[in-house]
Structure 1
Amino acid sequence: MFQKEVKGMVDVIILNGGSSSGKTTIAKCLQNSLPTSWLRFSIDDLIDAMPDAMMEADSGITFGDDGSVSPGTEFRTLESAWMHGIGEMIRRGARVIIDDVFISGVDSCNRWKAALEGLQVLWVGVFCDPIVASVRERERADRVAGMAVSQATSVHVGIHYNIKVDTTKTSPEECARIIWQKITP
């Protein structure tokens, strides 16, 4: 299931990569360099918007001491509403950059495809060496140790992208430039 080639105007850019891979920084660089206005949303925005009780419930989302992430049924319901809401914003004229972590791989991708049906999506894989991502993770106060290593490759399994960038040795600005070149005629 290869992503179709993007033709014409892109409505939405989805950046998928593991924790601490550089997605948010790339998204901000893109947002600030694109010639038109783009909104930016992250899976972290959704998690931050949830009540604290959902961080402790099996039906919510839990983070293991080993860096694992377990989304439950209530989380998935709210995630679906969030995804479809973003899709509706795009249909009403907003352009959006999404920063996500496809914890459930192809299933995560398919949930976005359903929410964004009929829209032009640029699927971007954001890769980073697990050791480099782990160092970045340790430098941040808001991450569970082990997330970067556990997600670095698993979130990409079975996903086919229009473009891939690797932040191991490439700056966020250069990655944004590579993506920008893909969407401008």
Structure 2
Amino acid sequence: MDVIFLNGGSSSGKSSIARALQAALPEPWLTFGVDTFVAALPAAGGGIEFGPDGGIVVGPEFRRLEETWMAGLAAMAAAGAHLIVDEVLLSGGAGQQRWLAALAGLDVLWVGVRCDPVVAATREAARADRIAGMAADQALRVHAGMSYDLVVDTTATDPAACARHVAAALASAG
């Protein structure tokens, strides 16, 4: 397997699962998240807007830059790096189609990371780096039209247990 792709809403536990996977897997896996990409965008001209209610709007400039981000990660995986992608596919299945095109020829384990919207919103409220409303807005939306190899739910399951499920799926796929 070349890529483990974690898709879930804000505060669903994707980053915690990614860190647990890095600790549990026998080979080194690099983690890259959408938060890293968004942080790398210029403050003006990056094509992304965050609404006060937690809504996110992306424009053509964001999509252009996102395409290069995806191509770069795919090139790393094609060169032999094992990647864990920590993503929030705001457009659900349409976003998955963009990633499928970028990752063509690579072995990808698609993992849906679900979390009850109320639980995700509670986690979000405890974090200083989130806009209130993001978790509730994204909790279900990011999974619309998606096709997964595995789904984990962090509502009542800790990240280490979710990572063990992912690692088991990885071992049986490989």
TM range (shorter): over 0.9
Is the counterpart of residue 104 in structure 1 residue 95 in structure 2? no
Q: CA deviation at 1:184?
A: 1.1
Q: CA deviation at 1:105?
A: 1.1
- Paired residue for 1:23, among 6, 10, 14? 14
Q: CA deviation at 1:54?
A: 3.3
Is the counterpart of residue 34 in structure 1 residue 21 in structure 2? no
Q: CA deviation at 1:67?
A: 1.0
Is the counterpart of residue 79 in structure 1 residue 66 in structure 2? yes
- Paired residue for 1:12, among 3, 21, 25? 3
TM-score if structure 1 supplies the norm length? Answer: 0.91
Match of 2:52 in 1: 65
Checking the alignment, whether the CA contact within 8 Å between 2:3 and 2:106 is kept in structure 1 is yes
Q: CA deviation at 1:80?
A: 0.4
Alignment partner of 1:66: what SS? coil
Identity, in percent, stands at 53
Is the counterpart of residue 167 in structure 1 residue 154 in structure 2? yes
| Deviation string, structure 1 residues 24-49 (Cα, Å, up to 9, x no partner) | 00001101110001100000000001
Letter in 2 for 1:170: T
Letter in 1 for 2:30: L
Checking the alignment, whether the CA contact within 8 Å between 2:7 and 2:113 is kept in structure 1 is yes
RMSD: 0.8
Stretches of structure 2 that go unaligned for 5 or more consecutive residues are: none
Alignment partner of 1:19: what SS? coil
Distance 2:91 2:113 in 1: 16
Distance 1:151 1:18 in 2: 5
